[in-house]
Amino acid sequence: MSAGSRNTEPWGGFDDNLIQGGSSAVIDMENMDDTSGSSFEDVGEMHQRMKEEEEVSAEAAAAEDDGADDGEFLGMKGLKGQLGRQVADEVWQAGKRQASKAFNLYANIDILRPYFDVEPSQVRSRLMESMIPVRMISFPQKVAGELYGPLMLVFTLVAILLHGMKTSGTVIREGTLMGTAIGTCFGYWLGVSSFIYFLAYLVNAQITMLQMLSLLGYGLFGHCVVLLVTYNIHFHLLFYAMWLLIGGLSTLRMVAVLLSRTVGQTPRLLLCGMLALLHMSFLLYLHFSYHQILEGLLDSLEGHNMAPIQRVVRDVPEVTLNATVRSLGGMLMAQ
Amino acid sequence: MTSAEEASRPFAGLSDVSIPDIPVEGDISLPVASSARDDEFSTLDEPVKETILRDLRAVANKFVHVLYPKRSSVLLRDWDLWGPLLLCVTLALLLQGGAADSNDQGGPQFAEVFVIIWFGSIIITLNSKLLGGTLSFFQSLCVLGYCIMPLTVAMVVCRIVLYTASGKVSFAVRLVVVTASFGWSTFASTAFLADSQPSNRRGLVVYPVFLFYFVIGWMILTFSP
C-alpha cells in the first residue's frame, strides 16, 4: 500500500507525499506503527506539516469530516478512515485471489480440452469404424480417447428420440418430453459406461473410463441410424432386420475391442455378454417405449387434439410413411 | 496501555499534539479532478427513459444485423443478453399450451423451452471453446441467442396460420416457413461464429448449432394449440 516509499530507516522515514500533499492520497500504515524513541521531534514536525496541508486543502478535508465522529475509540476515523479503507482493500484483494484460485482449479475447462482435439475427418472415419468389427483380438485394439464424437452422438440421439416421441404423440405423465429424452440418453451413456468399466475393473480388463465412454458413445451411431429410419417407416420387419444387422454390427465391434483387452474365458463372457445384452436391449427399448404405432399418423401433424391411443400389438399391414420425411426417407433409401 | 503512557510522557512538551492521531489519521488531499472524471462516465443521473431507450436501441440494432447476416462484429463487440432473453421468453410463451393433453403438458413447456435454449447455448459455447475458438463465453451466448430470432418469427407465422387454416395446406406452409427460418438461423449464427474457429474445424462447431436449431424448429413445427 505504500506509494513509492524508497526509505531505508526502520521507522519508515519521511515519504515525499507527506510533505507535498497534492500528489498522492495514500499514507503507508506500516510505517506509522513504529513509535521508537528516536524520532519524537521529527514526528512533531511531521504533524506540523500535515497541519499545513490541512489548511491548504480545506475542501477535501471537509469531505473527510463526515467520518470524524465514527470510530473515536481507536483514535482513528474507524471504517471510513484511511485504515479502514486499506483494510477493506486488502480483504478484497485476498478474497479475489482465493476466488480466482478456486475457479481456476475447479471450473477450468482446459481439463477437457485434450479430449476435444479432433478433426472432422477423424470423426468421420471413427463413425465408419464403429460399424466394422475388428478381426484380430489377440492384441489390444486401439480405442480413441475423445469425447466430441460420443457427445454429439448422444445429442443426436436425443433429437431423434424427441422427433419420435412428438410424432407418435407420446404423453409423458411426469416430467417433460425433453427431460425424458435427455435423461434416457445421457443416463444410458454414462450409466452403462460406468457399469461396464466397473465390471472391467473387477475382471482386470485393460480399459480406461475415457476409452469406455468413447467406445460406447460411438456405438450409439448404429442406434441413431436405426431409430432415424424406423421412427419414420413403421414396418416391424424392417425394424427387426435393422436391429439385428446394424445393432448387431456395432455391438460386435464393441465386444471385439473388449475381448482383445480381456484375458480369461469367464471374464470375457461376463463383460462382453453384459455389454451385448445392454446395448441390444436399449435399442429395443427405445423403439418400443417411445414410439407408438398409430393408425392415421398424419392426423397428429394436422393440429387436431388427439387422445393418445393405447399401445396395441398388431401387425401393420402396409408401410405407413411419415409425411414430414417422405422426401428424407427417399433420400435415405437412395443412399 | 502502559506502553502508551510511557510513549506519551516524553511527548508532554508537545501539548497540542495527540500522538494516536499522527500515525493513523490522515488528512489526505484528494486530487480534485477525480470527482469531475467520475461525472463523465456516471449514468446515474440520467432519466430512466433514456437508459431503457439506449439499451432498446442497441438490441434493435443487433436484430437488424441478424436479419441481414454479413460478417460484422457488432454482435461480438457489444454483446448483451437482453435480446436473447426477450426472444427466449417470447418463444416460450408462444409455445405454451400446445399439447396432446394440455392438462399435463401445459405447465412444463415454458420451462422446457427456456432450459433447452439456455443449456443448449451453454453447451455449444463450451464445445466451441474446447475446439479452440477465440470467442468469449458471453459473446457466443449472445450470438446464439440473437440468431433464434428467425425461429421466433416463424413461430408467430405458424400460430397465425394455425388459426386461419388447417389440414394439409397449413402443414405444408408451416413446414416451409420453419425450414426456411431454421436454415436462416443456422446460416446467421455460422456467419458470426465461424470466423473465430480454426478453418478445418468449422464443421465440428456448426453441427451442434444445426442440432440445436433443429430441435427448436421441431418444437415449433409440431406445436398444436
Q: Is A146 left (phi over 0), alpha (psi -120 to 50) or beta?
A: beta
- Does residue B201 lie within any of the structural domains? yes
CA distance linking residue A73 with residue B87, whole number of Å: 57
Residues of B in contact with A22 (CB under 8 A): 29, 31
User: Distances in Å between the alpha carbon of A309 and those of A161, A295, A315, B102?
Assistant: 19, 9, 16, 16
Residue A145, all three cell numbers:
480417447
pLDDT score of A269: 92
Q: How many helices (H) does chain A have, and how many strands (E)?
A: 12, 0
Is residue B139 within 8 A of residue B129, CB to CB? The reply is no
Name the DSSP class of A321.
B
ipTM of the complex: 0.73
Say how far apart CA B73 and CA A292 lie, in whole Å: 48
User: What is the C-alpha separation between A28 and B219, in angstroms, rounded?
Assistant: 64
Closest-CA distance of chain A to residue B130, Å: 5
Span B166-183, pLDDT tens digits: 788 888 899 999 999 999
CB-defined contacts A:B, below 8 A: 157
Q: How many Cβ atoms sit within 10 Å of the Cβ of residue A4?
A: 11
What distance in Å separates the CA atoms of residue A215 and residue A260, rounded to the nearest whole number?
A: 14
The C-alpha atoms of residue A248 and residue A239 are separated, in whole angstroms, by 13
- Whether the model clears a pTM of 0.80, i.e. scores above it, the answer is no
B30 interaction partners in chain A (CB closer than 8 Å): 25, 60, 63
Flag whether B23 is in a domain.
no
A109-125 pLDDT, tens digit per residue, is 777 888 888 888 889 99
Q: Is residue B5 part of a domain?
A: no
Q: Is residue B25 assigned to a domain?
A: no
CA neighbours closer than 13 Å in the CB half-sphere of residue B199 = 0
- Which helix (H) or strand (E) segment holds residue A16: the answer is helix A16-20
Whether A178 and B115 lie within 8 Å, measured CB to CB: yes
CA distance A22 to chain B (A): 6
Which residue did the predictor score with more confidence, A30 or B195? B195
What range does the domain containing B54 cover?
47-221
A chain contacts of residue B211, beta-carbon cutoff 8 Å = 152, 155-156, 159
pLDDT at A199: 93
| Residue B154 resides in a domain | yes
Q: Is B27–A57 a contact, with Cβ atoms under 8 angstroms apart?
A: yes
Q: Residue B149: pLDDT above 60?
A: yes
Q: pLDDT tens digits, residue range A240-252? A: 999 999 999 999 9
Residues 6+ apart with CB under 8 A from B224: A303, A304, A305, B98, B99, B100, B162
Residue B176 contacts A, CB cutoff 8 Å: no
- Which amino acid appears at position B11 of this protein? F
Query: B8 in a domain, yes or no?
Result: no
Residue B38 lies in a domain: no
Half-sphere exposure of A32 (CA within 13 A, CB side): 20
Q: Is B55 within a domain? A: yes
Using CB atoms, pick whichever of B7, B130, B211 lies closest to residue A35: B7
Q: A43 to chain B: nearest residue by CA?
A: B22
Question: Which B residues, 38 through 67, put their C-beta within 8 Å of a C-beta on chain A?
Answer: none
Distances (CA, A) of A133 to A86, A130, A151, A219, B126: 69, 7, 22, 11, 33
B37 pLDDT above the threshold of 70: no
Look at B166 and A303 and tell me if their CB atoms are within 8 Å. yes
B86-140 pLDDT, tens digit each: 999 999 888 886 554 545 554 457 888 888 899 999 999 888 888 877 888 888 8
Cβ atoms of residues A82 and B26 within 8 Å: yes
Going by C-alpha positions, the residue among A104, A151, A205, A43 that lies closest to residue B207 is A151
Nearest to A148 among B10, B167, B204 (CB): B204
Residue A202 grid cell: 473387477
Can you read off the three cell numbers belonging to residue A118?
479432433
DSSP per-residue codes, A277-315:
HHHHHHHHHHHHHS----TTGGGGGTT---PPPPP----
Q: What percent of chain A has pLDDT over 70?
A: 59
Per CB-CB distance under 8 Å, the chain B contacts of A27 are: 26, 28
The total number of structural domains that make up chain B: 1
Which positions in chain B touch A43 (Cβ < 8 Å)?
Answer: 17, 19, 22
Check A176 against B112: CB less than 8 A apart. yes
Contact A83 B28 (CB under 8 A): no
pLDDT at B59: 86
Chain A residue whose CA is closest to B12: A40
Smallest CA–CA separation between A138 and chain B, in Å?
A: 35
Contact B175 A40 (CB under 8 A): no
> Which residues of chain B neighbour A158 with C-beta distances below 8 Å?
215
Closest to A302 (Cβ–Cβ): which among B24, B171, B201?
B171
Smallest CA–CA distance from A50 into chain B, residue: B27
